[in-house]
Chain A
Amino acid sequence: MITQAASSITGKEVDAVFFTVAAICVVMLALISFFIVYFVIKYNSKRHPTPVDIPGNKTLETVWTVVPVLIVLFIFYLGWTGFEKRFEVPEDAMTINVTARQWSWSFEYEGGLTETELRLPVGKPVKLELTSSDVIHSFYIPAFRVKKDVVPGLTDNFLWFTPDAVGVYDLFCAEYCGLSHSSMITKVHVMEEAEFIGWKEGKLRKAEKEAAASLAGDVVDHVSIGRRLSVEKGCVSCHTVDGSPLIGPTWKGLYLKKETVITGGAERLTLVDAEYIRKSMLEPGADVVKGFPPIMPSQEGVLTEDEIEALIEYIKSLSDNKR
């Protein structure tokens, strides 16, 4: 876990500017503090009983207007040149589509591979296209000194960087996005290029096999697809599969359980069957399980019919009552 060292080329530039500006600030603060303390001691009324009125000094006023203007223009220039580069993506950058949702991230590589942790080859520029499926999030990797808000409805919203050290880094959501904002964390694995290619091809082959099996009309393994979707679509950031309640009810033993739900303010008992689960995904606010906040985002338009089927099969598999 490395959050401190700047581990990207942009990051090293940011640090250089930061320490330059911070040094200027420290010198200014030291001077100001020194003069306050020095004057307070030297011109204490006991030592200096007769004050001298000095109403002002035009030269001094000019100097301490012009010099700070030059200093801040210099700092502005430093910041601007570093910032401008963030808009100029190298042509050979690898593109990854990032989707943010309450409260998880997913990363889609070329070829359709979708992951919940970001894996990158070291030394290669990468361009991340950012989209949000609900509210504003912010993509932040402190170690790389990169951040960009992920705004729903905003197109062509991207950031790019070049990681330059192998390692595992933290990725945070930096824009407050509701209940589990501080859990919207994942990992960035920066790997040697060969290792990265091997990893990606392995994943793609597996996906192809699944697709081929499905086309050939073999028995589709809905349960394992459902399990994969539950991670990719972020279900697991609120629903556990081990029986412990998180933000939403656990999926373990949920299927065919009798739950007290709140419908339009009134409590009633209902059976958690396939129909109820489907409705909970598409209209989560309609029947909310008692004791949980009504905050699940609707999956209407997010999940396809096949994906809903697969998830229901997966949830079924977590219950002893399978009928």
Chain B
Amino acid sequence: MSDEYYREEVSGAAPVTGFYDSSGRRAGFTPWLLSWIFSLDHKRIAILYLVSTLSFFAVGVSLGFLIRLELIAPGATIVDARTYNAFFTLHGVIMIFLFIIPVTTGVFGNFLLPIQIGAKDMAFPRLNLLSWWFYIIGAALVLLSLFTGDGLPDTGWTFYVPYSLKTAADISLTAFALFILGFSSILTGINFVTTVHKLRAPGMRWHRLPLFVWSIYSTAWILVIATPVLGMTLLLVIAERTLGLGIFDPVRGGDPILYQHLFWIYSHPAVYVMILPGMGIVAEIIPVFTRRVIFGYRAIAYSSVMIAVVGSMVWGHHMFVSGFSKTAAFVFSLFTFLVAIPSAIKVFNWISSLYRGSIVLEAPFLLALVFIFQFTVGGLTGLILGTLSVDVHLHDTTFVVGHFHYMKFGGGGFAFFAGLHYWFPKIFGRMYIKRYANIAVAFLFVGFNTLYFPMLVMGYKGMPRRYFDYLPEFQLYHVVSTVGSWILITGLIIMFVNLIYSIRRGEKAGANPWGGATIEWQTTSPPPVLNFVDPPVVDRGPYDYR
């Protein structure tokens, strides 16, 4: 990894202006576009991820909106059962594989990891670009698979066999698309791990790493270790559908439970891919807006690693009623309870970091607090679900749907929004309109909880998930939940209109609008092509303000 390489790539003409308006616009649209989609600059690649993942987020939100609208009354309301089943399948596939897994690593991991450790770029810039291209190819194939089969994919995002072997939709192509997306994750993971090990600036010792870097580092390891299992499993599903090998299909002597094991060996750790970077974002934001050092740096850093390790051994809690043994249930339930501990430690440390601070309430900080609340609800409902005898009742009800939305959206998604408001001035060099940002936060908080809390209640009352139709006694909860979705979407619209408007029209932000101590705030906003004009010197911890 030579510095020569960068110099050659960027060419002598690289100006010390912002990275994203430096080249090519005057030459016309095509050169401008090419300068983006073939850029090796980690910051440009981050923006590519931002645009692409948020586009799919918009699609996923629209599908979620339609699902909620359909459920406002029992029976067919706006679509038929076939379409509804495709809606929740696509909502899940898009939100998980095209949004929440790639978004935080892809956007903030790419943009900030090199800058926060004082590097000029990722360890493997070409691999980094290839990751994004794999993401785009995978996403394109997902879209293609909607049209190649007899009907839209209708298996749910979990692709459980034998249903996924029998359905007429083109599940083979959808599975292949996710296989390609998996490569995107693996390459990203390898790149991030290598970058943290090899490219830290002089003086950037492990215990001076910002907590966001710790969380991205743990996430990257999960991506590298767990994703291959998903790839292998999906290839087996394709082989089963086309060749009829008899691995999963009970008619041919296969075992459908084996599929569930393989699927969750990846997909449970993937849950931590969705939430760990978010925890890192929150740990960055809190000290800046309390103007004090974070409480329990090492506890927070090591708990990220703990979550990555213990979180790899809890996948069986998705299968307590699948018919596996008592012993397996015992072990998986126990580990599930233990993985709650590092998360609890994080929450306690974040809250203690408010103690005796000097708190400034700004949108990123408000979102971080909302994150802590919603993540706590998600974690505590997780304890309820981990309780074996209770899980038998709650499994596959809307209680589970509520729980994981509190985790992935209320946690991971809101942390991403927090990060977006925190690093927006660094990425674009301009500040959004703070008043509108705060209004959006209020809508998001109220809307989110109105949407998902009723799911917890009706799940306990026995409302199964993935139901197109339901008994009239559940309608009240469904109506409240649907109204919540409207409030939430209003908040999202306010938030994104404000941000998009401010990319060009916002006030100039300056290098360090929040007074942050991590080194991304020492360079210009936006940062120059190689991030720093003068090589950064690190002689203190990430949250030492004085």
Contact = CB atoms under 8 A, between A and B. Distances in A.
Given A53-B546, A72-B341, A147 B356 contact: no
A83 B388 contact: yes
Given A3-B473, A172-B464, A179-B82, A21 B390 contact: yes
Interface string A174-210: 1111111111010000000000000000000000000
B245 interface: no
B356 A52 contact: yes
Contacts of B386: 75-76, 79
Interface in B130-157: 150-151, 154-156
A40 B160 CA distance: 46
A172 B546 CA distance: 62
A151 B254 CA distance: 12
Contact of B390 (A17, A40, A87, A183): A17
Given A21-B390, A153-B256, A53 B384 contact: no
B290 interface: yes
A249 interface: no
B334 A43 contact: no
Contact of B250 (A24, A51, A53, A153): A153
B466 interface: yes
Contact of B351 (A39, A138, A142, A183): A39
A140 B396 contact: yes
B348 interface: yes
A249 to B, nearest CB: 16
B464 A36 contact: no
B322 interface: yes
A32 interface: yes
Contacts of B299: 56, 61
A29 B354 contact: no
A199 to B, nearest CB: 25
Nearest to B292: A51
Contacts of B166: 134-135
A140 B99 CA distance: 33
Contacts of A219: none
Interface string B504-535: 00000000000000000000000000000000
Interface in B380-416: 380-381, 383-384, 386-393, 395-397
Given A14-B392, A134-B162, A138-B396, A176 B321 contact: no
Contact of A293 (B151, B341, B391, B466): B151
Nearest to A146: B392
B199 interface: no
A276 interface: no
Contact of B376 (A32, A149, A293): A32
A43 B290 contact: yes
A142 B463 CA distance: 8
Contacts of A215: none
Given A14-B390, A83-B388, A134-B162, A174 B292 contact: no
B432 to A, nearest CB: 21
Given A80-B388, A136-B163, A3 B292 contact: no
A304 interface: no
A33 B372 CA distance: 9
Interface string B315-348: 0000011110010011001100110110011011
B351 A140 contact: no
Interface stretch (B2-10, B40-48, B358-366): B358-366
Nearest to B344: A68
B393 A14 contact: yes
Contacts of B349: 61
B534 to A, nearest CB: 28
Contact of A182 (B167, B293, B468): B468
Given A51-B291, A151-B256, A35 B381 contact: no
B501 interface: no
A157 interface: yes
A28 interface: yes
Of listed A17, A81, A182, residue having the most chain B CB within 10 A = A182
Interface in A1-31: 1, 3-4, 10-11, 13-14, 17-18, 21-22, 24-25, 28-29
Interface residues of A, number: 87
Given A55-B297, A61-B345, A179-B81, A79 B387 contact: yes
B493 interface: no
B295 A55 contact: yes
A44 to B, nearest CB: 5
A148 B323 contact: yes
B81 A29 contact: no
Interface string B5-44: 0000000000000000000000000000000000000000
B347 A174 contact: no
B460 interface: yes
Contacts of B496: none
Nearest to B347: A32
A213 B383 CA distance: 60
B454 to A, nearest CB: 15
A272 B224 CA distance: 57
Contacts of A142: 393, 397, 461-462
Contacts of B85: 176, 178-179, 181
A17 B254 CA distance: 37
Interface in A144-177: 145-149, 151-154, 157, 170, 172-177
A36 B293 contact: no
A48 B356 contact: yes
Given A54-B293, A175-B396, A79 B389 contact: yes
A286 interface: no
A242 interface: no
A238 B160 CA distance: 23
Nearest to A145: B393
Interface in A89-144: 134-136, 138, 140, 142-143
B466 A181 contact: yes
Contacts of A178: 85, 154, 163, 167
Contacts of A148: 321, 323, 392
A40 B352 contact: no
Nearest to A177: B163
B202 interface: no
A73 B333 CA distance: 10
Find the residue from B85, B321, B545 having the highest chain A CB count within 10 A. Answer: B321
Nearest to B470: A182
Contacts of A3: 461-462, 471, 473
Contact of A45 (B81, B82, B150, B360): B360
Given A83-B392, A157-B323, 12 more contacts: A17-B387, A29-B380, A43-B290, A51-B290, A56-B296, A57-B295, A60-B348, A87-B326, A142-B397, A175-B396, A181-B467, A182-B468
- Smallest CB-CB A-B distances: 8 pairs: A142-B462, A153-B250, A82-B389, A79-B387, A83-B388, A39-B354, A25-B380, A79-B388
18 contacts: A11-B393, A14-B393, A28-B380, A29-B376, A33-B373, A39-B357, A39-B359, A43-B290, A48-B356, A79-B386, A80-B388, A134-B166, A140-B462, A146-B392, A153-B254, A174-B465, A179-B82, A180-B81
